[in-house]
Structure 1
Amino acid sequence: MPAPRLKTTQYAPQDHEAVVDELSAGLNGHAAVINCAGVPDASSQDAALLFGANAVVPAVLARAVSRLRPAPRLVHVSSAVVQGRMPVLDESMQTDAFSAYAASKAEGERLALAELHEGLVIYRPPSVHAADRRVTRTISRIARSPLRSVAGPVGRPSPQALLDNVAAAIAFLATCPGTPPAVVIHPWEGVTTMSLMESLGGSRPYMVPEKLARVAVRLLSLAGALVPRLAPDARRVEMLWFGQGQAPSWLTEGGWVPPHGSQAWVDLGHEVSATSH
């Protein structure tokens, strides 16, 4: 069923009772509910739009599910962006909201957990890639340009995921017989800063000396703190150069295996290249 369209800068449960009633009626009898709704524009500065879609919608949905008996499992698709610049992405509730978008996604997790104490699974995929996704095409353009680069001396783990793998992980979380924890991260798909550039660009990137790259990232982060609309761009550069570590995922422990491996990343690069001309 379509998600409600809400635009607000605060969550007051009593203001959304009609929406909750409608959702409860529509979801009654289902074994699992998946929330993929939200505003995906990480550069948006529209606080009401971001908060309404990414924070309030998960809250009212969780509230609606909590009223059902038996209550279905709710898989809320959040984002690894909520942990920002943490050295290692993990399955804790610790967050680092470095942008308006990240803050809205983090608040969505908090509000949903407050409304539904059992049966909620918060799934945090990293950057999700497919041939028609903007993030993929943007990185591909960079990877095929003279700007293609990573921080030396070697490639580092990078949290990236193929769209088909993310879809398979969501389906697993919704239907697996075991009980997933409250927060589940997407497993590392073996992508490094180097392999991402090579797969999506078709050639080896340049190496930027690590010390120089770290100084540049600090300056970009400072610019993002002073001018909020620049924060997402600063973070993108940091991710492309340095990547980010990932802790083990419950999905792996639960027996889930991504259906697509390293060759799919190479195939994706070829597909993007073929459709970009």
Structure 2
Amino acid sequence: MGHTMADTSWKIIGASGFVGSSILARLTTEGLTVDAIEAPRLVTRETDPQQLISDARKLEGIINSLADSFAGCDVVINASGLAAPDQEDLAPLLGANALLPAVIAIAAQRTGVRRLIHMSSAAVLGPVPVLTDTPETNPFSAYSFSKALGEEVLLGLRSFIEEKAAQGTAPGSAASQFPAAPSHAPAQVARHHALEICILRATSVQGQGRRTTQAFAKIASSPLASVAGDGQHRTPVSSNYALAEFTAMVGAFDGELPPIVLQPWECATTESVLIDAGRRRPMRFPEKFCRALLSAGYKASHYVGDRLTGPVRRLEVMWFGQDVDDSWARTNGLIPTARVSEVLRTAHSSLGKKSDRRFAD
């Protein structure tokens, strides 16, 4: 990128949220120039990626407002998505997770921003054995559908921007039909300037104050805590600290970023996370028994309009975990400090339950 991290200007959209606040704290700790930008609230029922991009381009007032905030900025981090895994109402999800990312990317390109890191979720991949950085998605809920659509929109914009920049008609440049932003004080955008858009797929991120983390600690502390087989399956359960550190690493990476990167594995297993969050040993069930029970659960869910799919899927992940293909991060030495054990132990302590005597440490 040709900049040192210290002289890079960063902006975070959605810095008050769980992920955004963790990233803001990390960047601030590293002594970086970082500003928080409030995320505009958008709603839409549009599900066609091209139409979403077209609709985003018409939101000139919001593009101008964001562009004002982006002036002179190098890296924009979009952590503003709506994280509501059980929400059924699509309009706010699509607005926050698909339409807004398009508006942000358009504003960033037309203001000359160099890099956009979009915080997505590995949930877009669905119930696959291994989480990867493939553009192919398999959403299974309203939330994962909205996040997958957001990715598709950004990949489309990335291709379009790169194609136009290669032709010397980069959006926002004098040679383009798309004007520079903000309209009242247009930025100078070079003809070959291409915003580098990188989608960062977070895995199963846990942290203090997160409801899913408290719920996980409750289950881990109860007799329901169980694993399939010996409990040594890899799990994508991770910490907000490691995600924030990895995001900072990706933002500062001195090289070309791939379109999609995956948050690295924090060396946790299905058994280790339950022990950390519950301070008790989980029950071990035979793998065949677990598979049969899950199969029955998915069939039952199918008969009631997929209403049980979420809970059955959570059970599947507790028992079998999911592997994480973090080869890009490992190849480039971008491995954050693993802090998932600490986060889960803190979650257990906050429940105020007595620990099992064997786990008094």
TM-score interval w.r.t. the shorter chain?
Answer: over 0.9
Q: Does 1:25 align with 2:68?
A: yes
Describe how 1:198-217 pairs up with structure 2 within 5 A. 198-217=275-294
Q: How many residues align?
A: 273
State the distance in 2 between where 1:265 and 1:13 align: 37
Match for residue 133 of structure 2 among 91, 108, 124: 91
State the distance in 2 between where 1:48 and 1:228 align: 20
The aligned residue for residue 127 of structure 1 is 204
Q: Could you list the per-position Cα deviations for residues 88-131 of structure 1 after superposition, in whole angstroms to 9, with x for gaps in the alignment?
A: 11111011101111100000001112223350010001011113
- TM-score, normalized by length of structure 2? 0.72
Aligned-pair CA distance for 1:229: 4.1
State the distance in 2 between where 1:211 and 1:122 align: 36
Aligned-pair CA distance for 1:54: 0.9
State the distance in 2 between where 1:62 and 1:269 align: 35
The aligned residue for residue 227 of structure 1 is 305
Match for residue 35 of structure 1 among 51, 55, 78: 78
Question: Are the equivalent residues in 2 in contact too, given 1:75–1:174 (CA < 8 A)?
Answer: yes
Report sequence identity in percent: 36
- TM-score, normalized by length of structure 1? 0.93
Unaligned runs of 5+ in 2: 1-36, 47-51, 163-195, 353-361
Aligned-pair CA distance for 1:153: 4.0
State the distance in 2 between where 1:34 and 1:266 align: 26
Unaligned runs of 5+ in 1: none
The aligned residue for residue 254 of structure 1 is 332
Question: Are the equivalent residues in 1 in contact too, given 2:85–2:143 (CA < 8 A)?
Answer: yes
Question: Are the equivalent residues in 1 in contact too, given 2:234–2:323 (CA < 8 A)?
Answer: yes
Over 3 Å counting, the alpha-carbon distance change for 1:18 and 1:222 in structure 2 is farther
Greater mean deviation of Cα atoms: 82-91 or 119-128: 82-91
Aligned-pair CA distance for 1:28: 2.3
State the distance in 2 between where 1:208 and 1:243 align: 14
Aligned-pair CA distance for 1:197: 0.7
The aligned residue for residue 180 of structure 2 is none
Paired amino acid for 2:39: A
Q: Does 1:116 align with 2:116?
A: no
What RMSD, in angstroms, separates the aligned Cα atoms of the two structures?
Answer: 1.7
Over 3 Å counting, the alpha-carbon distance change for 1:265 and 1:111 in structure 2 is closer
Question: Are the equivalent residues in 2 in contact too, given 1:128–1:162 (CA < 8 A)?
Answer: yes
The aligned residue for residue 101 of structure 1 is 143
State the distance in 2 between where 1:185 and 1:265 align: 16
Highest relative contact order (Cα 8 Å, sep 6+), 1 or 2? 1
Q: Does 1:218 align with 2:261?
A: no
Greater mean deviation of Cα atoms: 36-45 or 245-254: 245-254
Match for residue 272 of structure 1 among 327, 333, 347: 347
Over 3 Å counting, the alpha-carbon distance change for 1:228 and 1:53 in structure 2 is farther
Question: Are the equivalent residues in 2 in contact too, given 1:152–1:208 (CA < 8 A)?
Answer: yes
Describe how 1:22-171 pairs up with structure 2 within 5 A. 22-69=65-112, 71-117=113-159, 118=162, 119-171=196-248
Bigger Rg, structure 1 or 2: 2
| Secondary structure of the structure 2 residue equivalent to 1:78 | strand
Greater mean deviation of Cα atoms: 174-183 or 265-274: 265-274
Over 3 Å counting, the alpha-carbon distance change for 1:247 and 1:265 in structure 2 is closer
Q: Does 1:194 align with 2:271?
A: yes
Describe how 1:238-253 pairs up with structure 2 within 5 A. 238-253=316-331
Over 3 Å counting, the alpha-carbon distance change for 1:222 and 1:66 in structure 2 is farther
Question: Are the equivalent residues in 2 in contact too, given 1:142–1:148 (CA < 8 A)?
Answer: yes
State the distance in 2 between where 1:232 and 1:21 align: 39
Describe how 1:164-183 pairs up with structure 2 within 5 A. 164-183=241-260
State the distance in 2 between where 1:223 and 1:111 align: 34
Aligned-pair CA distance for 1:230: 2.9
Over 3 Å counting, the alpha-carbon distance change for 1:224 and 1:56 in structure 2 is farther
| Secondary structure of the structure 1 residue equivalent to 2:123 | helix
Question: Are the equivalent residues in 2 in contact too, given 1:63–1:116 (CA < 8 A)?
Answer: no
Q: Does 1:8 align with 2:44?
A: yes
State the distance in 2 between where 1:254 and 1:198 align: 31
Paired amino acid for 2:129: P
Question: Are the equivalent residues in 1 in contact too, given 2:98–2:150 (CA < 8 A)?
Answer: yes
